[in-house]
Amino acid sequence: MNNYYFKKILSLLATLLVISFLVFSAFEIIPGDPALSRLGTNATPERIAALRAEMGLDKPFLFRYFLWVVECVKGNFGTSYSYNVPVMSMIGEKLPITITLTLLSMSMTMIISVPLGIALAKYAHRTFDKVGFIANQTIMSVPAFFLGILFTYIFGLVLHWFKPGGYISYKQSIPGFIGFLIVPAIAIAIPKCAMSIKLLRAAVLQEADKDYVRTAYSRGNSTMQVMYRHVLKNALIPLVTFWGMAVADVIAGSIVIEQVFNIPGLGRVLLTSISNRDYPVVEAVILLIAVVVVLMDLVTDILYRRIDPRVRRNEKG
């Protein structure tokens, strides 16, 4: 067991190292220069040189990368070139937004998809299931950003249920903040729900033929009891994998949905930092996304073990 976590952490570190190096190299290759970006067309060669020296850009590439890694290990992610504030505090300020959005959309996905998926399986091949299946396929193929634009138009401009772009900072009012994030969260959740329902329905149907299900029925359990107590536990495995990926996807995909709803979260920071060539910020945000992806992988593994003892047993054997 310890060996298992040790391996996971090692692979996390290796992933981060590779990713950060790739990002560093990418900025080395693409045109543009943070010093020039900041000075604009008023730049003179002297001012560019002075600013580059101030930013440490005059040093060789590998040396800069090494220096950056050393500082990161010490917990110092540097200072934003554009805003002169520590990268950590800048990201720290945006993180609650992205986390709230992720939690909201993921909990919606879970709450909606589990009962619906089971219901579809229960009425498999009947009208309810057939209609549900078509609706599901349709929704699954609609991207979240399009739903976002649609919602802004319908609920914002026509029905006035919310104020488009009326984002309220969590520092101002937490209910207002969550209230505004609900619509974007729904836009993210709907396609994810559709996917979850499809997966769950298939998994439940697969499990339903198994011996333990018949045993459970024969012991006098109702369908609901069998479904939720016995089948669901086994059917959840593919779903947990999907949800794990979905969390990472929501965070990385926040760039798009934040643009649609004008939410000043992590995605926006990433986007503008790339166009400003603000390397320290870009590096930190991408590392953060990478950490989330790897961590979700870890969490999924742990959940497997909790849900399905067989996984644990296999590992021992």
Long-range CB contacts (< 8 A, 24+ apart) of 131-140? 132/197, 136/194, 136/197, 136/198, 137/194, 137/198, 139/190, 139/191, 139/193, 139/194, 140/191, 140/194, 140/195, 140/198
* 218 binds other proteins, rule: CB under 8 A: no
State which residue, 145 or 228, has the beta carbon closest to other proteins. 145
Binding residue (CB under 8 A) for other proteins from 86, 176, 238, 264: 264
Q: Give the integer Cα–Cα distance in Å for 115 and 107.
A: 13
Candidates 82-90, 132-140, 189-197, 291-299; binding stretch for other proteins (CB under 8 A): 82-90
State which residue, 49 or 311, has the beta carbon closest to other proteins. 49
Least distance CB 264 / other proteins (angstroms)? 4
* 39 binds other proteins, rule: CB under 8 A: yes
**Residue count, binding to other proteins (CB under 8 A):** 48
* 11 binds other proteins, rule: CB under 8 A: no
* 169 binds other proteins, rule: CB under 8 A: yes
Phi, psi of 132 (to 5 degrees): -60, -40
Tokens representing residue 120 in the block: 């579809």
* 172 binds other proteins, rule: CB under 8 A: no
Binding residue (CB under 8 A) for other proteins from 8, 12, 47, 253: 47
Least distance CB 289 / other proteins (angstroms)? 17
Beta bridge partners of 79: 86
Binding site for other proteins (CB under 8 A): 30-33, 36-47, 49-50, 80, 82-85, 90, 93-94, 152-153, 156-157, 163-167, 169, 259-262, 264, 268-269, 271-272, 275-277
